[in-house]
Structure 1
Amino acid sequence: QHFNLIAEPFKPKTEEKPVKKGKKIESDLTKIEIEDLKISSRTINILLKNNIKTVGGILRKSKGTLLELEGMGEKGIKEIEKSFKKIGLEIK
């Protein structure tokens, strides 16, 4: 029996549970703070000035509404879209 430990490849006793997809993961993503996104300080400051602090806050706004924020332009929107694409989200 002791030789079995050496002869057989190591098998972990705990198996990884599959990640559940759907609303749970999406709701976790919405809680990400905008400071954790890979976007410029300028864009972060514009969002914070308008009381948008999380990914969920951005998702509640349309692209048009975001463009209306003082100082926000196409470049800022593109930064946000690029960052969102990496985590599987998009602005409506």
Structure 2
Amino acid sequence: MDTYIEGHFSGALAYRDLIKVLKWYVDRIIEAERQEHIQEVLKAQEYIFKYIVQSRKLFAFATGGQNEEEFRCSIQELLMSIRFFLSKESKGASALAQSQ
């Protein structure tokens, strides 16, 4: 997969949708009734981030670094969603541990 991402992947605009979709999933993790699909997305997040980075590199190369601020903001929003999810998870895990 790494070889494909680094050598053959050519989706210069893909990072935008990948960030939006990953953030959408992360924002819905806690309220989701069925966790299987979300867990699959989280297992694949390493490669999703690799696709995001490669796509952004391609876009920056093609445009001379346009939309850098937009990219930074969308990544920051994604990371804030992940941070929020992880804080909820750690609180839930500690509450569960205290009840046992």
> Going by fraction, where is helix more abundant, 1 or 2?
2
Give the TM-score normalised by structure 1: 0.27
Q: Which has the higher contact order (CA 8 A, sep 6+)?
A: 2
TM-score of the two chains, using structure 2 as the length reference: 0.26
